[in-house]
Structure 1
Amino acid sequence: MSIDVLGPLMDGRSADEANCSAVEEARRQLEICNACRYCEGYCSVFPAMTLHRAFSDGEVTQLANLCHNCRGCYYACQYTEPHEFAVNLPRALAEVRVESWERFIWPSGFARLFQTSGVALAGALCAGIAVMIMLAYAIRPNSGEGFYAVISHTVMATLFTVSSFLPLIIIAAGLWSYWRTVGGERVRLAHLREAFIDAGRLKNLKGGAADGCNYEAQDRFTKARRWAHQAVMWGFVLCFAATTSGTIMHYGFGWEAPYGPLTAPKLFGVPGGILMTLGGGALIGLKLQAEKSLGAPAVWGGEMAFVLLLTMTAVTGLALYWATGTAAVPALLVAHLGAVLALFLTLPYTKMVHVPFRLAALVRDAQTKGTR
């Protein structure tokens, strides 16, 4: 595609124009990409992009949340800097994505704080651990076995019920606002099935080739990020299954923790914790290797702190399991519950919120495929 054809799309603006909002800059770049279409066979963003001649704010937001930041399009693009068009679509969409989470998640001030500051996440973790320590020693039960000799069941259940349901309510409200903004329609079972299959396979992390994406290896394709995400995702699912089975065993059958190695909580939880630890460690390494300027640099610290917190949750959980029956249990239990509490309470304001938003984007994309 020649410069003469694409030139009018610049509309007199430069890529670093002062006071250019994230949505406006992403719109400018999407218009250039839509005229070129060299990357049409890459991820789901590009076929979805071709449905439009112009992009509303809602359409830009949808495409941004559909993007998985594999970065393949950047390394294939002929209009990146030093070209005057200065196309950097991965960064432009990443910044819109972050902006959308801040806008839709209430209260937006907290969302902005946690997205831009890793220190805030560390503070939340410390606060969570401090709370658990105070509860462990100031309200410790006079009787109880296992974990409940350190923290009473009532206190533990109350804390985690509140810290689980409140973030979910906030996220649900944010998703509703997102759905209205992107023009979402009535959801059918076929839409959900396609979205969950795409999410489970992490199809869009393969970029424009079956060999993977370019996240950490620039113009070379690798599958490392895809496998790391798979490990974290399925590890989280297994840990959730462990928690669910433990809840059923406690309330349904009166069996209290800690549980033996051949019980459902351990058969799900131990492999889940190992997968989360390995996947989280891999993501930390990949993030350190990746080029910051191809994401949203302003929130790099917050994203890294989130991955560290997620990994610490898994590591302390495994350590607690291996320390069962020793004097280290009280300290490890406080550390683990503090990490989990901090993770849950900050859930709507960290990058963890990309999971429901990206799933919603995949559902919306499934709805529009019939019009292509």
Structure 2
Amino acid sequence: MNSEPKKFIPVVQLSDNETEVKRALQICNACRYCETFCAVFPAMTKRLEFTQADIHYMANLCHNCGACLHACQYAPPHEFGVNIPQAMAQVRLETYQEFAVPAAFGAIYKKTGIPLVSAMSVLFFLLMLAGVWLNETDLFGRYQGDFYAIFPHNFLAVLFGLVFMLAFILLGLGVAKFWKQTSKIIPEGVAQPDILQASKNVLTLKYLDGGHGKGCNEEDDRYTQIRRVFHHFTMYGFLLCFAATSVATLYHYFLALEAPYAYTSLPVILGTLGGIGLIIGPSGLLYLNIKRHPLHGDVNQKPMDRGFIFLLLLISITGLLLLAFRDTAAMALLLIIHLATVMTFFLTIPFGKFAHGFYRSAALLKFAVEERIAKHRAKAK
């Protein structure tokens, strides 16, 4: 007789939203009409049961393209009421909250709307304005584009650099917790082809094409690539601005070339192109967010979505205005406004919409691993 004690396997209590995703996926797994759609459905067909980890994984794998909702014969007003985009969006918000570091800050995800980011920007503006006043700096002086005449370079580099690094450390810890939970069942680990495939899917926004190449559904069942286009403007606009800052840092510390830089210099060109992208992209995304079909997504996410988009617009508009009027008496005031919006963005990185790109990238990496393993096993049979 075996006297070994039985291992205790804790039962995970699913939230109402997680339960709804599980119910919807079980119906989808029986139907499989959308099997050739986005990455969610190939991942779904590899499972007969859906654990909490599976639900979290597929919720972040979902790009909310809307194609499955408009193709589904069981979507509302059918009695089954299957709405994958909405159910996934509700769970995605829960995952951001659950994996947030520190955990107590997870509730901020529901609050990072336009009022909060506006209030934070105003607060930082007033603090910086007070600093300028206490330092007796002429707010409306002409400084020939020299930002460091208002705030010393080392002060800005240390303050904003530390906040930026801390924000990404906290976000990275949250994504690591998500990866640890959702990827326990990958015994083979991650290989180079998985990283390359996931990177390709991220950089091309592959699954904003609906999985069939025709695009998303916005207001109706008509396919369009427009959301993918606006996401590209936003993502590459941000990357260009980051590249501009990186090049300027290289110029300053390694080439002994100090700002202000000429309009034809590489940092200014990169920053200008990035700023333009961050006006076109977020403006389009805000329009689509307002006009989108009411059954898409989750109304609880709209404040977070719009707060993030609004903040990107503030940063890009004030940044371009600062560049255009840097040689005028308005420079100092524009600099303070711009820095206030940038600081707000940095502080909300781990607890706002920006995080979704990193959680989705982790889910796409797991999907690439699963696809590689599935193909390998199919060849071995």
TM-score scaled to structure 2, two decimals? 0.88
Q: State how far apart, in whole Å, the 1-side matches of 2:109 and 2:308 are.
A: 9
**Other-structure match for 2:365:** 363
**Aligned counterpart, 2:58:** 63
Question: By how many angstroms is 1:122 displaced?
Answer: 2.2
Q: Which residue of 2 aligns with 1:168?
A: 168
Does the 8 Å CA contact 2:205/2:228 hold for their aligned counterparts? Answer: yes
Mapped partners of 1:362, 1:166: distance in 2: 25
Q: CA deviation at 1:156?
A: 1.0
Offset, 1:158: 2.1
Contact 2:216–2:225 (8 Å) recurs in 1: yes
Question: 1:3: which partner in 2?
Answer: none
Deviation at 1:86, TM superposition (A): 0.9
Cα deviation for residue 313 of structure 1 reads 0.7
The structure 2 residue matched to 1:312, chosen from 314, 333, 336, is 314
Residue 115 of structure 2 corresponds to residue 115 of structure 1: no
Cα distance in 1, alignment partners of residues 92 and 223 from structure 2? 24
Residue number among 224, 233, 236 corresponding to 2:226 in the alignment: 224
Mark the CA change 1:247 to 1:20 in structure 2 (over 3 Å): closer, same or farther.
Answer: closer
Shift, 1:147, TM fit: 0.3
Alignment length (residue pairs): 353
Question: Closer, same or farther in 2 for the Cα pair 1:252/1:139, shift >3 Å?
Answer: farther
Distance 2:266 2:128 in 1: 26
Q: Which moved more, 1:67-76 or 1:150-159?
A: 150-159
In 1: Cα distance, 2:323 partner to 2:348 partner: 25
Alignment match, 1:344: 346
Structure 2 residues without counterparts, runs of 5 or longer: 1-13, 375-381
Instruction: Give the drift of 1:126.
Output: 2.0
Amino acid at match of 2:180: R
Q: Which residue of 2 aligns with 1:130?
A: 126
Tell me, in whole angstroms, the C-alpha distance in 2 between the residues paired with 1:221 and 1:295.
Answer: 17
Distance 2:107 2:129 in 1: 29
Q: Which amino acid is the alignment partner of residue 173 of structure 1?
A: L
Give the letter for the 2:158 counterpart: T
Checking the alignment, whether the CA contact within 8 Å between 2:214 and 2:225 is kept in structure 1 is: yes
Paired residue secondary structure (1:336)? helix
Match of 1:21 in 2: 16
Change (3 A) 1:293 1:133: farther
Matches within 5 A, 1:1-372: 21-118=16-113, 119-139=115-135, 146-183=146-183, 185=186, 186-214=189-217, 216-372=218-374
In 2, distance between residues paired with 1:208 and 1:163?
38
Cα distance in 2 for partners of 1:107, 1:286 equals: 32
Q: 1:115 to 1:329 in 2, by over 3 A?
A: same
- Does the Cα contact within 8 Å between 1:121 and 1:302 map onto a contact in 2? no
Cα offset, 1:71, TM superposition: 0.6
Is this contact kept in 2: 1:42–1:209, CA < 8 A?
yes
TM-score (norm 1): 0.90
Q: Deviations over 1:147-205 (max 9, x none)?
A: 01111223211220121011111011111111111025433221111111001111100
Worse overlay, 24-33 or 148-157: 148-157
Q: What is the one-letter code of the residue matched to 1:50? A: T
* One-letter identity of the residue aligned with 1:280: P
- For 1:344 and 1:20, the matched residues in 2 are separated by 31
Q: Which amino acid aligns with 2:106?
A: A
**Using a 3 Å threshold, how does the CA distance of structure 1 residues 140 and 317 change in structure 2: closer, same or farther?**
farther
Contact 1:202–1:226 (8 Å) recurs in 2: yes
Between the aligned partners of 2:40 and 2:93, the Cα distance in structure 1 is 17
**Percent pairwise identity:** 36
Q: In structure 1, how many angstroms separate the alpha carbons of the residues matched to 2:324 and 2:112?
A: 33
Q: Which amino acid aligns with 2:276?
A: I
Query: Any idea what the Cα deviations from partners look like across 1:35-90, whole Å, max 9, x if unmatched?
Result: 11011111011011100000010011110101100011001111112212111110
Residue of structure 2 equivalent to 1:5:
none
Unaligned 5+ runs, structure 1: 1-18
Q: Distance in 1 between matches of 2:161 and 2:65?
A: 36
Offset, 1:208: 4.1
Distance in 2, matches of 1:234 and 1:248, equals: 20
Q: Is the 8 A contact 1:65 1:358 kept in 2?
A: yes
Measured against aligned partners, the alpha-carbon deviations of 1:89-136 in whole angstroms (never above 9, x if no partner) come to 101111111100111112334332233451222222222222322233
1:299-326 per-residue CA deviation (whole Å, 9 max, x = no partner) reads 2112101101011111111111111210
Note if contact 1:91-1:295 (Cα within 8 Å) is conserved in structure 2. Answer: yes
Structure 1 consecutive aligned stretches of length 4 or more whose deviation exceeds 3 Å: 139-142
Partner of 1:12: none
CA distance in 2 between partners of 1:239 and 1:70 (Å):
27
How many angstroms apart in 2 are the aligned matches of 1:117 and 1:244? 27
SS in 2 for 1:85: coil
User: How far apart, in 2, do the equivalents of 1:132 and 1:190 lie?
Assistant: 47
Distance in 1 (alpha carbons) for counterparts of 2:369 and 2:211: 22
